[in-house]
């Protein structure tokens, strides 16, 4: 009879289901790890910034892509006009080129859009006229954004008497019509250059940006992170630059982008009325004004500079609309 206590012959029977439980435990740990990874990814996606979300949204909008390409083309044209035509926009030949009709076979040539009443190439003047319009639009927008943004931020942040005084100043300038005020101011300049027009429009056009910035700052300064920064001892400059400005600038960018097209149209209107830019500066508004006398016999003289002006203004308005929709979560 075998000895049951013999250790050499005794083999303990394994407990049923142990291997299965170990495998199940490893599988559960893998699932839990995968869940944690997915939660971290989700948290990172939720922590994406407003500007990152806006950029991803803009890249999927055809209206933004089309307007951006048009604006890029216009900026390149204003910087390097000789890359688009080798014709001289000031060269006049009344004998051979007086109101000569467009030559559609002369691609990018001097006669592509025809000639005006002074025998000058309309295509060359359309190309070179982009410089004045784009320069005025960009510098006026930069000026009003800087002046209006600073004024609105100071008024909204400090409040009280500072806000009351600055708000009354904003109301005074806001009550002056932009076009009428520019007419009055520009009459005081002996030489109405691009920079004179820029100065007149900046002096009168900053109030809208100031109001938008003031309203945004009044909202943002009540946020918890601003209160926390103030409680931790952050100074006024740090709070305004690091915490308030980045979160209040979005509506200002939208308004400034849309307004840029309006400033270009205003410059053309002033030049059309004879109060804006003057010869020898090349401007679409000047060319449209000079085409009035021959519009019945040669409508193409007015059509091409007017079309260039309309496309430019439309491109900036389209971009402003796209940026507004991307930055406003309610419109997504």
pLDDT digits (tens, 9 = 90+) for 202-240: 999 999 999 999 999 999 988 888 888 888 888 888 888
Is residue 58 in some structural domain? no
Is residue 144 in some structural domain? yes
- State the pLDDT at residue 46: 43
Range of the domain at 239: 130-331
How much of the chain exceeds pLDDT 90, in percent? 59
Burial 252-271 (b: 16+ CB within 10 A, else e): bbbbbbbbbbbbbbbbbbbb
Does 310 score more than 90 pLDDT?
A: yes
User: How many folded domains does the chain comprise?
Assistant: 1
Q: What global pTM score does this model have?
A: 0.80
CB 57 within 8 A of CB 301: no
Is residue 12 in some structural domain? no
Is residue 16 in some structural domain? no
CB 198 within 8 A of CB 234: no
- State the pLDDT at residue 166: 95
Does 45 score more than 80 pLDDT?
A: no
From CA 30, how far away is CA 296, in angstroms rounded?
A: 81
| CA-only gyration radius of the chain, Å | 33
Does 31 score more than 80 pLDDT?
A: no
Is residue 291 in some structural domain? yes
From CA 184, how far away is CA 228, in angstroms rounded?
A: 49
Among 37-41, 89-93, 274-278, the minimum mean pLDDT is found in 37-41
Is residue 305 in some structural domain? yes
pLDDT digits (tens, 9 = 90+) for 170-199: 999 999 999 999 999 999 888 889 999 999
The mean pLDDT value for 278-297 works out to 91
CB 74 within 8 A of CB 315: yes
**Mean pLDDT over the full length of the chain:** 84
Is residue 39 in some structural domain? no
How much of the chain exceeds pLDDT 70, in percent? 83
Here the CATH number for the domain that contains residue 169 is 1.10.3720.10
Question: How many C-alpha atoms does 173 have within 13 Å on its Cβ side?
Answer: 22
Is residue 138 in some structural domain? yes
Read off the tokens for 298. 């040669």
């Amino acid at each position: 009879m075998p000895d049951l206590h013999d250790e050499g012959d005794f083999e303990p029977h394994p407990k049923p289901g142990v291997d299965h439980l170990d495998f199940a435990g490893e599988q559960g740990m893998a699932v839990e790890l995968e869940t944690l990874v997915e939660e971290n990814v989700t948290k990172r996606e939720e922590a994406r910034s407003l500007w990152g979300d806006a950029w991803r949204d803009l890249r999927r909008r055809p209206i933004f892509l089309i307007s951006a390409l048009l604006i890029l083309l216009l900026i390149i044209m204003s910087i390097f006009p000789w890359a688009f035509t080798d014709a001289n926009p000031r060269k006049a030949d009344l004998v051979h080129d007086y109101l000569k009709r467009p030559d559609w076979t002369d691609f990018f040539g001097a006669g592509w859009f025809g000639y005006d009443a002074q025998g000058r190439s309309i295509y060359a003047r359309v190309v070179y006229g982009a410089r004045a319009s784009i320069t005025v639009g960009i510098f006026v927008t930069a000026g009003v954004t800087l002046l209006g943004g600073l004024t609105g931020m100071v008024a909204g942040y400090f409040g009280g008497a500072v806000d009351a005084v600055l708000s009354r100043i904003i109301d005074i300038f806001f009550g002056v019509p932009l076009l009428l005020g520019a007419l009055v101011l520009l009459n005081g300049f002996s030489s109405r250059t691009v920079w004179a027009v820029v100065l007149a429009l900046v002096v009168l056009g900053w109030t809208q940006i100031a109001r938008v910035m003031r309203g945004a700052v009044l909202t943002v300064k009540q946020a918890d992170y601003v209160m926390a920064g103030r409680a931790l001892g952050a100074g006024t400059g740090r709070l305004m630059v690091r915490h308030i400005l980045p979160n209040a600038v979005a509506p200002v960018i939208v308004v400034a982008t849309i307004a840029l097209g309006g400033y270009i149209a205003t410059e053309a209107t002033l030049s059309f009325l004879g109060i804006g830019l003057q010869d020898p500066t090349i401007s679409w508004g000047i060319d449209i004004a000079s085409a009035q006398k021959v519009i019945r016999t040669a409508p193409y003289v007015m059509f091409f500079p007017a079309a260039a002006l309309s496309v430019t203004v439309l491109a900036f308005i389209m971009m402003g609309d796209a940026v507004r929709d991307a930055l406003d979560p309610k419109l997504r």
